[in-house]
């Protein structure tokens, strides 16, 4: 059986005593990598240079002692167990150093105890590290859950606003011939509102665990498409360089999400280069062979497409790198950063079954490497924005229940313009009253899911007692997960996600009335 590798830092002024410790450890089945120090400065340098499994320290040295050495370990490498190996000292001294955090106290004339004590200390440290990692993972998931709930509430309100903006713009576009003045401005507003809608979806995909929309894409084309945006984003004093590998493999990703990754990394790079500099984006086909050599030390073996983003900024020290992808962690001044940018990058990459690494030293910039699994599949066709089309027409009666005035006014205008008769209510109670006093038929209930007093599901249930056979179309600006809590998202339910366009609303209404699902 092979010996166990043990990295030992020895704080000892006697070379012969240090050799006795090493002999005892080798007899205990350890293969030793060691370094001996005698001063606090030498100890700090050794702890910074290499990772150590255990520190063995004499109690008293000419210019140093065990309590001081223990304080250095606690300050710079708190996970490393510390064992005192000394000659005859008082019991009170031994107890004091143990209370201060030493893992054990071994007498030099009883070194047969050293190997078992080291084994216990190293194993105990591993258990503590694992426990702490589990606690950190739990805290991370709890923080992400809180972010998800917050994002869901914000998205609901924002999607209502975007519904009104998108819908109103498209109604104006229907009335504006291509050569009419200000037509270009209307197109710009529509494109901006569409982009905002996509950004909300991207946020929810990470924090509220919404279903992604992956496609098989060429990463080179994605980088080319977003390069113009990035140039405007980073400013004229930062040079943007792209090096795109020919014959790049395909990847299956949500393109909006990967665009968000590039935007976040570009913003971070810009902030790290206040005096200007260089931002480089590269792609390549790579194979990770499982040797875990840097920079892909944490990436499993496999065939990947590499997306690399490098800057010439101020760089990142090792302490910051350890927390770089944690939510709410930021080195920016208060009010200048949320601490969610790189956490979002990490989440998006992991959702895409990829891996992200960072390599940086202070003063020498930073390099982020994103490894996305290569797929052997044809590229999916790319979609361009559909031209504005007149809403699908109808003559039926629709009961509209929506508590948000902007959305309510827009939906009423769209449906009436398409030929429908629209009965309007600001909530569930009013909708039931309108239905009770309406003499003619009601063919469809169009209702928001989450409303004060009565949610859409309850309204539909009560309306069915008054108007058997009425069809129902739900709409909501909340994430799918929040909507599902109200019992809406099942295979037999018609659902329209906000924000929607007039064309999308009319088409969905027509489909539900015609019996389509």
pLDDT in tens, 352-381: 889 988 898 898 899 999 999 999 988 887
What is the arithmetic mean of pLDDT over 88-117? 86
What is the arithmetic mean of pLDDT over 29-56? 92
* pTM of the predicted protein model: 0.47
DSSP letter, residue 176: S
User: Is the pLDDT score of 223 beyond 90?
Assistant: yes
The CATH architecture of the domain made up of 219-375 is: 2-Layer Sandwich (3.30)
> Cα–Cα distance between 61 and 101 in angstroms, integer?
19
What is the arithmetic mean of pLDDT over 240-253? 93
* Lowest-confidence pick of 12-21, 103-112, 482-491: 482-491
What pLDDT score was predicted for residue 288?
Answer: 87
Q: What is the CATH number of domain 143-207?
A: 1.10.287.130
What pLDDT score was predicted for residue 517?
Answer: 40
What pLDDT score was predicted for residue 151?
Answer: 62
What pLDDT score was predicted for residue 306?
Answer: 95
What is the arithmetic mean of pLDDT over 388-392? 53
What is the arithmetic mean of pLDDT over 299-328? 83
Structure tokens at 211: 């279903």
Look up tokens 């999400």; give the residue: 257
What pLDDT score was predicted for residue 202?
Answer: 53
Pairing type for strands 444-448 and 397-401 reads parallel
User: Is the pLDDT score of 349 beyond 90?
Assistant: no
User: Is the pLDDT score of 295 beyond 70?
Assistant: no
Q: Which residues make beta-bridge pairs with 458?
A: none
Of residues 191, 190, 253, 189, the one with CA closest to residue 222: 253
What pLDDT score was predicted for residue 516?
Answer: 45
What pLDDT score was predicted for residue 31?
Answer: 92
> Cα–Cα distance between 216 and 381 in angstroms, integer?
9
> Cα–Cα distance between 388 and 52 in angstroms, integer?
65
> Cα–Cα distance between 12 and 404 in angstroms, integer?
74
Whether the domain at 143-207 and the domain at 219-375 fall into the same CATH topology: no
What pLDDT score was predicted for residue 482?
Answer: 44
* Lowest-confidence pick of 16-30, 280-294, 329-343, 445-459: 329-343
Domain boundaries, the chain: 4-102, 143-207, 219-375, 397-513
* Lowest-confidence pick of 102-106, 156-160, 443-447, 494-498: 156-160
What pLDDT score was predicted for residue 201?
Answer: 62
CA 364 distance to own-chain centroid: 26
Collapsing DSSP to helix, strand or coil, 18 comes out as helix
Structure tokens at 486: 């109200």
pLDDT confidence bin for 63, thresholds 50/70/90: confident
Segments in 28-113 forming alpha helices (H): 40-49, 66-76, 91-99
* Lowest-confidence pick of 1-5, 110-114, 297-301: 1-5
What pLDDT score was predicted for residue 211?
Answer: 45
High-pLDDT (> 90) share of the chain, %: 39
CA 19 distance to own-chain centroid: 50
Higher pLDDT, 244 or 188: 244
Mean residue pLDDT across the chain: 82
What pLDDT score was predicted for residue 392?
Answer: 66
Domain range 4-102, its CATH number among 1.10.940.10, 3.40.50.2300, 3.30.530.20, 3.30.70.920: 3.40.50.2300
What pLDDT score was predicted for residue 405?
Answer: 87
What is the arithmetic mean of pLDDT over 167-192? 75
What pLDDT score was predicted for residue 1?
Answer: 44
pLDDT confidence bin for 301, thresholds 50/70/90: confident
What is the arithmetic mean of pLDDT over 27-49? 92
Instruction: Tell me phi and psi for residue 454, to 5 degrees.
Output: -145, 125
User: Is the pLDDT score of 213 beyond 70?
Assistant: no
> Cα–Cα distance between 130 and 134 in angstroms, integer?
6
pLDDT confidence bin for 45, thresholds 50/70/90: very high
Taking CA atoms, 451 is separated from 122, 398, 403, 427, 438, in Å, by 57, 18, 6, 7, 22
> Cα–Cα distance between 344 and 326 in angstroms, integer?
9
> Cα–Cα distance between 384 and 174 in angstroms, integer?
19
Structure tokens at 515: 């019996």
The CATH architecture of the domain made up of 397-513 is: 3-Layer(aba) Sandwich (3.40)
Of residues 49, 61, 250, the one with CA closest to residue 69: 61
Spatial neighbors of 403 by CB under 8 A, at least 6 apart, are 426, 427, 448, 451, 452
Query: Could you report the per-residue pLDDT of 417-428, keeping only the tens digit for each?
Result: 889 999 999 999
Contact 514, 426 (CB under 8 A): no
What is the arithmetic mean of pLDDT over 342-352? 79
pLDDT confidence bin for 163, thresholds 50/70/90: confident
Beta strands across the sheet bearing 4-11:
30-37, 4-11, 54-57, 82-86, 104-107
User: Is the pLDDT score of 206 beyond 80?
Assistant: no
Contact 285, 248 (CB under 8 A): yes
Q: Is the peptide bond before 194 cis (omega within 30 degrees of 0)?
A: no
């Amino acid at each position: 059986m092979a010996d166990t590798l043990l990295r030992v830092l020895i704080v000892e002024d006697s070379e012969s005593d240090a050799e006795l410790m090493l002999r005892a450890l080798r007899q205990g089945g350890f293969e030793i990598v060691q370094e001996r120090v005698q001063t606090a400065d030498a100890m700090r340098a050794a702890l910074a240079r290499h990772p150590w499994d255990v520190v063995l320290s004499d109690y008293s040295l000419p210019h140093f002692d065990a309590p001081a050495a223990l304080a250095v370990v606690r300050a710079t490498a708190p996970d490393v167990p510390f064992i005192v190996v000394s000659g005859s000292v008082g019991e009170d001294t031994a107890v004091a150093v143990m209370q201060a955090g030493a893992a054990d106290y071994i007498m030099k004339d009883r070194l047969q105890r050293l190997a078992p004590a080291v084994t216990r200390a190293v194993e105990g440290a591993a258990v503590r590290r694992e426990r702490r990692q589990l606690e950190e993972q739990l805290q991370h998931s709890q923080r992400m859950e809180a972010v998800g709930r917050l994002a869901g509430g914000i998205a609901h309100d924002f999607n209502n606003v975007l519904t009104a903006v998108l819908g109103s713009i498209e109604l104006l576009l229907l009335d504006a011939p291509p050569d009419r003045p200000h037509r270009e401005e209307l197109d710009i507003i529509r494109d901006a509102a569409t982009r905002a809608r996509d950004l909300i979806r991207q946020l929810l995909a990470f924090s509220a665990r919404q279903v992604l929309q992956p496609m098989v894409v060429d990463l080179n084309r994605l980088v080319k498409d977003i390069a113009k945006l990035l140039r405007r984003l980073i400013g004229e004093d930062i040079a943007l360089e792209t090096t795109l590998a020919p014959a790049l493999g395909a990847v299956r990703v949500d393109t909006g999400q990967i665009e968000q990754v590039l935007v976040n990394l570009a913003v971070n790079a810009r902030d790290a280069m206040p005096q200007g500099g260089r931002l480089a984006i590269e792609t390549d086909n790579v194979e990770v062979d499982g040797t875990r050599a840097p920079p892909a030390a944490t990436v499993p073996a496999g065939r990947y497409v590499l997306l690399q983003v490098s800057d010439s900024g101020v760089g990142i020290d090792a302490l910051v790198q350890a927390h770089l992808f944690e939510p709410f962690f930021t080195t920016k001044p208060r009010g200048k950063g949320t601490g969610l940018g790189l956490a979002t990058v990490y989440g998006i990459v992991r959702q895409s079954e990829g891996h992200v690494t960072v390599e940086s030293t202070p003063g020498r910039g930073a390099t982020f490497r994103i490894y996305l699994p290569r797929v052997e599949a044809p590229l999916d066709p790319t979609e361009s924005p559909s031209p504005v089309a007149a809403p699908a027409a109808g003559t039926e009666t629709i009961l509209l229940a929506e508590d948000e005035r902007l959305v309510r006014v827009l939906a009423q205008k769209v449906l009436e313009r398409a030929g429908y008769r629209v009965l309007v209510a600001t909530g569930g109670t009013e909708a039931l009253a309108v239905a009770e006093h309406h003499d003619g038929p009601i063919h469809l209930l169009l209702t928001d899911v989450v409303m004060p007093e009565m949610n859409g599901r309850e309204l539909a249930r009560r309306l069915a007692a008054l108007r058997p056979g009425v069809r129902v179309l739900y709409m909501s600006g909340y994430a799918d997960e929040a909507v599902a809590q109200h019992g809406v998202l099942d295979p037999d339910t018609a659902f329209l996600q906000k924000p929607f366009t007039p064309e999308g609303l009319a088409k969905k209404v027509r489909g539900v009335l015609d019996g389509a699902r």
